[in-house]
Homo-oligomer: A and B are copies of this chain.
Amino acid sequence: MKAKYPIGILGATGAVGQRYIQLLENHSWFEIVWLAASDRSCGKAYAEAARWRLDTPLPERIARMVVSPAEPPSVSSSAPRIIFSSVDAAIAREMEPRFANAGCAVISNSSAYRMAANVPLVIPEINADHLHLIEDQPSRRDSGGYMVTNPNCSTIGLVLALKPLEERFGMEQIFVTTLQAVSGAGYPGVPSMDILGNVIPYIASEEEKMEAETLKLLGRLESSIAGHSVTPLSARITAHCNRVAVQDGHMESVSVKLGNKLGRFVTREDILAAWAEFRPLAGKDLPSAPDQPIEWAAQPDRPQPRLDRNRGKGMAVTVGRLRPCGVLDWKFTVLSHNTIRGAAGATILNAELLASLGKLEPGRWSGEPAAAAATAHA
């Protein structure tokens, strides 16, 4: 039995922080050794600092851990160098580079650096090659530390459904309307008086994020002597974002105009095959990767959040209702679990991918102390 990678969590008391804790209990590669949160939580036992909102018990070991200040480790510290981060964008903007500069692998769910030119925005099934951007980050050269991000919760389901189509057929236009769950807004998040029996047709900055992130994720890595860069997909995209009275699970109504890669009309069977055969991580044995990242729901009224969000332990997206579109080519519905596949699980899967690529290994960070190395995985 190998030692596990020691993990630190930034934003441990928040909704995504709680999911990290839930998903990492009994994780075969990772072990939480450090929890950080805002000043008012510091010094308290986690069980006191957090208002645990998940329907599985707070693990006893975590309940007793004392919340640390959100400060990067000093050179000699035994604090972990692998940091899962999910904090507000304004805080992330200031804090994540400090951890990277201190030699940490900052694997983040925060939005602050997703669109930065030298920060990879990655979904392992989609664009693992974008991780080469890490090598261009100044901190990587100086301290070994770097930053990697995963997309917004509403982007991930969309891009997973689009990627196999883009790959086989090309992708020219994308239309998406979201019906997003309240957990996407964190806790306390959406007031009940706003959403009970209601729809809110607005989520601040969400449409802009979905549009920009989708094109970067589907973009092409360019490499030259000067370094790497990502050229976004050249496609038109528009998003309408709505909040609905659902606990977990973002639904999306999608229409697409495909390209001409196939050289002929793209049939329903072509699309179903593209989804069914999309298993780019097969054989990699990443613990959180679902066998089938895109599941097809054959019933006419599926997917539905309550019934389908937990497919693949919340890491599979479900597509359904494929039918011709009167304006573009095809339309369909996609569902993903917004706090698992769309947030905490996304960070963890990115970390698993980085581990499998040797990018979480001891010795790669110049300042890394021996203690951390001793507990590393492989």
Contact = CB atoms under 8 A, between A and B. Distances in A.
A227 interface: no
Given A53-B193, A179-B244, A238 B198 contact: no
Contacts of A190: 191-193
Nearest to A190: B192
Given A201-B333, A304-B198, A192 B237 contact: no
Contacts of A211: 326
Contacts of A378: none
A187 B191 CA distance: 7
Interface stretch (A245-253, A354-362, A368-376): A245-253
Contacts of A305: 197-199
Contacts of A253: 177, 201, 240, 242
B183 A193 contact: yes
Contact of A327 (B197, B200, B236): B236
Contact of A194 (B173, B192, B320, B333): B192
A238 B328 contact: yes
Residue of A194, A239, A321 ringed by the most chain B CB atoms within 10 A: A194
B202 A301 contact: yes
11 contacts: A53-B193, A179-B242, A182-B192, A189-B192, A192-B195, A197-B246, A201-B304, A201-B320, A201-B333, A240-B333, A244-B244
B188 A191 contact: yes
A237 to B, nearest CB: 5
Interface of A: 15, 53-55, 173-175, 177, 179, 182-183, 187-202, 211, 236-240, 242, 244-247, 251, 253, 255, 300-310, 320-321, 325-328, 331, 333
A327 B210 CA distance: 14
Given A191-B190, A327-B237, A310 B255 contact: no
B196 A245 contact: yes
A304 to B, nearest CB: 5
A245 B242 contact: no
Given A177-B253, A201-B301, A251-B201, A53 B307 contact: yes
Residue of A198, A237, A305 ringed by the most chain B CB atoms within 10 A: A198
Contacts of A192: 182, 189-192, 194-196, 245
A187 B300 CA distance: 19
A179 B179 contact: yes
B199 A255 contact: no
Contacts of A321: 201-202
Contacts of A304: 198-201
A307 B310 CA distance: 16
4 closest A-B pairs (Cβ-Cβ)? A177-B177, A240-B253, A188-B191, A238-B326
B55 A310 contact: yes
A328 B242 CA distance: 19
Contacts of A236: 326-327
